[in-house]
Amino acid sequence: MGGVERFGNAHSPGTASHYMMYRNFHRTFPCLILVIAFTGSLALAQTQLSSGITGPIDDRIRVTLKGNVHSLAQARYDHGAVPDSFPVERMLLMLKRSPEREIAFQQFIEEAHRPGSSHFHKWLTPRQVGELYGPDDSEIAPVLAWLQRHGFSVAHVTKGKTAVEFSGTAGQLREAFGTEIHTFLIDGEEHHANDRDPQIPAALAPAIGGITPMNDFPAKSYTKVLGKASFEAASHTSTQPSHTPG
């Protein structure tokens, strides 16, 4: 997810993609799989913090979620916007912790991984992470209400309170996020992607950290095969393939 740029009086907006875009994102989406309750020094995490959303939700005053346009979504490949009815399904709007809870969460991770700590390997479930370190429900509720006001179907908030899953159409995305899903034809292959960075109301910026990729371009692999390696069990030695830089 990219940075945030603030400006005022933007036109009404939109953003997303469909199921293939959802699958591409989830290849890399980190999952926190934790199992044992952490019971010490949680006073800061349990403190009820005041909501960062302090003003009314005004769609005319917006911020841009920068860095959300794929490098191949170029004008020379653009064949125009998809129909408004084009489905954009199972998108994730990423939620943001307050600075205090983010600090507390990072401290928990450090202590849980540090040998000798009284909290070493005392893990949390995703639901416990959400309850102790996630954004307050009072901050999530306006985000859900905003999505629903623009016609989206909200499926759920993740257990760790890290994201909201929602679905809708390309028309709703344009109206809500100020970006369009276009068809791009590259080397004979058709792809769909947003043509510009999405926008959100500035009042929701304290609660929103970003959005999932809005394209169906396949992820690029950086794996390089260098050759075969061999291992001699008797001598416990191995022969590795030579590596040529570049």
- pTM confidence score: 0.72
Beta strands (DSSP E) in the chain are 4-7, 62-65, 78-81, 87-95, 153-157, 163-169, 181-186, 189-194, 199-201, 208-211, 230-232, 237-239
| Tokens 């344009």 belong to residue | 174
Per residue in 81-131, pLDDT (tens digit) is 999 999 999 999 999 999 999 999 999 999 999 999 998 999 999 999 999
**208 phi and psi, to 5 degrees?**
-115, 125
pLDDT at 243: 57
Per residue in 51-83, pLDDT (tens digit) is 578 778 999 999 999 999 999 999 999 999 999
| Bridge partners (DSSP) listed for residue 231 | 238
CA–CA distance, 126 with 118 (Å, rounded to integer): 21
Picking from 217, 164, 207, 181, the residue whose alpha carbon sits closest to that of residue 14 is 181
pLDDT at 228: 80
pLDDT at 12: 38
pLDDT at 5 over 60: no
Per residue in 193-242, pLDDT (tens digit) is 999 999 999 999 999 999 999 999 998 787 887 778 787 888 777 777 66
Picking from 122, 206, 211, the residue whose alpha carbon sits closest to that of residue 173 is 211
Q: Determine the residue type at 135.
A: P
Domain ranges of the chain: 4-239
Find out whether 217 and 191 touch, Cβ atoms under 8 Å: yes
Per residue in 40-56, pLDDT (tens digit) is 334 344 444 455 787 78
What integer best gives the mean pLDDT of the chain? 82
pLDDT at 34: 34
Per residue in 228-238, pLDDT (tens digit) is 878 788 877 77
